[in-house]
Amino acid sequence: MTQSLVAGLEPPYYTAVFTSIRPDAPEGYAETSARMQELVRDVPGFLGYESARTPGGIGITVAYFRDLDGLAAWQHHPEHLAAKRHGREHWYDSYSVHIGKVERSYGFDRG
């Protein structure tokens, strides 16, 4: 899970919202997740991500991309494709993906 928020992005940009249900600690998941976090940082146009999971297994990850080309590059990255396939076969009970264009963004930081 991320411990800080992605903020200060100038719209427009795009989001990929990945919501899932899976067991709390499936074998090999943590290593694959760490690898995906490493790989996505090298995708042109990647801006950051936020992630959270409930103890009951519901997870949400929001990835931010400057444009649809960056989002498509991540969607079709060979190792990401393999991880998605493995996830469907072994980890996830269900998931959904929502792609959106952000036209307005604002926030608050007490810090």
Exposed, middle or buried by CB within 10 Å (0-12, 13-18, 19+), for 31? exposed
Strands (E) in 6-110, as ranges, are 13-21, 46-53, 58-65, 94-102
What is the reported pTM? 0.91
pLDDT in tens, 6-59: 988 999 999 999 999 987 778 899 999 999 999 999 999 999 999 999 988 899
Please write the tens of the pLDDT for every residue from 46-102: 999 999 999 888 999 999 999 999 999 999 999 999 999 999 999 999 999 999 999
HSE-CB for 14 with a 13 A CA cutoff? 15
Q: What is the pLDDT of residue 55?
A: 86
**What tokens were used for 11?**
């719209």
For tokens 């649809």, name the residue.
68
